[in-house]
Amino acid sequence: MFDSLDLGLKGKVAIVAGGGAVGNGIGNGRAASILLADAGVNVLVVDKEEVLANKTVEMIEARGGTAISVGAELTKSSECEKVVNLAISKWGRLDILDNNVGIGSKLSVVDETEEHWDRVMDINLKPMFLMSKYAIPAMIDSGDGGSIVNISSISATRPKGLTVYSTSKGAVLSLSQAMAVDHGADGIRVNCILPGPVYTPMVYTPGMSDEHRSQRQNASLVQIEGEGWDIGKAVVYLSSNWARYVTGHLMVVDGGCSLSAKPRG
């Protein structure tokens, strides 16, 4: 797909945290994994459920790419360190980290439980912190700097009915920009993608009516439905030499939904 473009990615090594998806579905992490491999990147696909990461690797290899998989609980420091060490032991370097791990929540602070608040914050933030903690020194040791892409949501800046989720995703924005400041001198760029209502397995697996799906599509100014591929392509750009002068950026990928969408019912 990228044969005619010099993205400067061939031979690089990436970790995609949350790179699995249910069945043959294309989630944000799976799309990023496949497209990075298409660009010549060696990809370590990580998921809590290793069987989902294995499927992503199968899809990559079917396209001629190179990838391996590992199952890991990325809210644990030792597991994140294990993942980074695996990439280094396999390919000798680390250049890219794509942080996709996250869950949702639909309740207000009045209706939300303390236990679920803790769970959302733990899953939506701690893996980004811990994976970056171990990835950044590895990127520095590799000698060419690196790129970290954190996945947030337009709910971070347009909170309408997903209060705890929006709060966690707002923290991702601050974390990304703070990391960009901290590690720019190390040659490490840190950027953040804010997806809109993208049709991914995480969204449709619990069940979605045709009416709801149509409403999500119609919220886009360009009247098209966002896909995991749209987020994956943004990850490839931000990871490439084409974005060498881009860091601390909050990239909205939502078809204009955040400009027009009505409050959730």
pLDDT at 128: 98
DSSP letters for the chain: --TT---S-TT-EEEEET---STT---HHHHHHHHHHHTT-EEEEEESSHHHHHHHHHHHHHTT-EEEEEE--TTSHHHHHHHHHHHHHHHS---EEEE---------TTTS-HHHHHHHHHHHHHHHHHHHHHHHHHHHHHTS-EEEEEE--GGGTS-SS-HHHHHHHHHHHHHHHHHHHHHGGGTEEEEEEEE-SEE-HHHHTT---HHHHHHHHHTSTT---EEHHHHHHHHHHHHSGGGTT--S-EEEESTTHHHHPPPP-
Q: What is the mean pLDDT of residues 162-183?
A: 96
Q: Who has greater pLDDT, 214 or 66?
A: 66
Which band of pLDDT confidence, cut at 50, 70 and 90, is reported for residue 169? very high
- Please give the Cα distance from 35 to 20 (Å, whole number): 14
What is the model's pLDDT at position 265? 44
Catalytic residues: 165
Instruction: Please check the confidence at residue 1 and state whether its pLDDT lies above 80.
Output: no
DSSP β-bridge partners for residue 50: none
- In this prediction, residues 241-254 reach a mean pLDDT of 97
Mean pLDDT of the chain: 92
pTM for the model stands at 0.92
CB under 8 Å to 9, separation ≥6 — which residues? 2, 36, 39, 40, 41, 236, 239, 240, 241
pLDDT surpasses 70 at 162: yes
pLDDT in tens, 194-227: 999 888 766 666 666 677 667 766 678 888 889 9
Q: Which domains does the chain have, with CATH numbers?
A: 13-255 (3.40.50.720)
pLDDT of residue 161: 76
Mean pLDDT confidence for 240-264:
88
What's residue 149's pLDDT?
98
Query: Is pLDDT above 80 for 261?
Result: no
For residues 83 and 137, what is the distance between their CA atoms, to the nearest angstrom?
A: 14
